[in-house]
A and B are shown apart, each in its own frame.
Chain A
Amino acid sequence: MIKWYMITLVGGDKPGIVAKVTTALYQAGCNLGETTMLRLGGNFTIMLMASFIGAEETLERVIEPVAEELQLRCHVDYIEGKLHDHVEPNVRITIFGSDKAGIVASVTSSLADAGLNISQLDSDVAGSEESPIYIMNIEGVAENGIDSLEQALESISAEGVEINIEPIDTFIG
């Protein structure tokens, strides 16, 4: 039976990581599902769904030699997940300002209380070493509407953080 696994790989960035990892999986008979692969702070991070007929240990034996060669830490988990299970976000929130400790925690706590289910979040630090800027980009489903998110973030906004909340008006055409 086909089973889905989540494979996580993290390590220093170097050329050819994606090609080598995906080739090894393909040659072992895996199919890829949803994935994210990106560079974070000089590291390369991979999270991928792979379907595979065999057991978790067998898949580990497929991926471990490649991970070792590329000096990546590797983790394989059986998951209950499946494809075609997308959640359509209805709100995008972008936040930026001077880098402040705790900003992600306070923003996401307020948003969670106001009914936001985050489907995607990425954040980055830009600017310079002396005056870093924090930038965060969130997409999610506002269960209680956008107004309640705006109210929730009002106090944070008053602290000099720029916050934009806009609906995502997805159309199917």
Chain B
Amino acid sequence: MAIIKVIKYPDDRLKVVSIPVKRIDQNILSFIKDLENTMRAEPGGIGIAAPQVGNTIRVVIIDVSSKPNIKHNGRLVLINPEIEKWDGYAVGREGCMSVPDYTGNVIRAEKINLSAMDETGQVRSYEMVGYEARVAQHEIDHLDGLLFLDRLVSRRNDLFRRKVYQPSSTDNR
């Protein structure tokens, strides 16, 4: 039972596109155990992606079951996850273990369908909504070298204003 050190931005490994897992062997399974311990060791840890501990393979763990009154799929190990369908969108606030001391607003799909291998190598499909869907999208972004910082929306005006693009003489700051 080990806890692995979480790497922090600007570590280059957070910007890498992770590679798919080809074979689920003892090494992978023991890594997954350590990854889960690492996630659970964080206060409020509800999701983690392998590249966050410097291992750039396509493995994500999420477990939002501690949050009351939401729909969720329980503890999930997602190996080579693929989001197959996106529906709706919502603004939510996110932070990241790899970006300490900052949270920001991000737009995510409200509902997603995804498929992934589980620890036994079986491919499974999941439907996720709301909070769980947002967490899954955040973690799967890590596998593609993306941070929530790449998707920030302005804190001001993001709820009401339609953007009107007008070139203006005072726009060049």
Name the residue of chain A whose CB is nearest to the CB of B158. A137
Decide yes or no: A171 and B46 within 8 Å by CB, A38-B156, A86-B101 being known contacts: yes
Other-chain residue from B42, B62, B159 in contact with A172 (beta carbon distance below 8 A):
B42
- Which residue of the partner chain B has the closest CB to A122? B156
B95 at the interface (CB under 8 A from A): yes
Q: Which residue of B lies closest to A85 (CB)?
A: B101
The contact string, 1 if C-beta is below 8 Å from chain B, for chain A 33-56, is 000001100000000000000000
Contact A171 B135 (CB under 8 A): yes
The proximity string for A residues 119-159 relative to B, scoring 1 for CB distances below 8 Å and 0 otherwise, is 01010101000000001010100000000000000000000
B92 interface residue per 8 A CB criterion: yes
Interface residues of B (CB under 8 A from A): 42, 44-48, 62, 64, 67, 92-97, 101-103, 131, 134-135, 138-139, 148, 155-157, 159-161, 169-170, 172-173
14 pairs, CB–CB < 8 Å, chain A vs chain B: A15-B169, A15-B173, A16-B172, A86-B102, A126-B160, A137-B159, A169-B67, A169-B131, A172-B44, A172-B95, A173-B94, A173-B135, A173-B138, A173-B139
Which A positions have Cβ atoms within 8 angstroms of B? 13-19, 38-39, 84, 86, 88-89, 94, 96, 120, 122, 124, 126, 135, 137, 139, 168-173
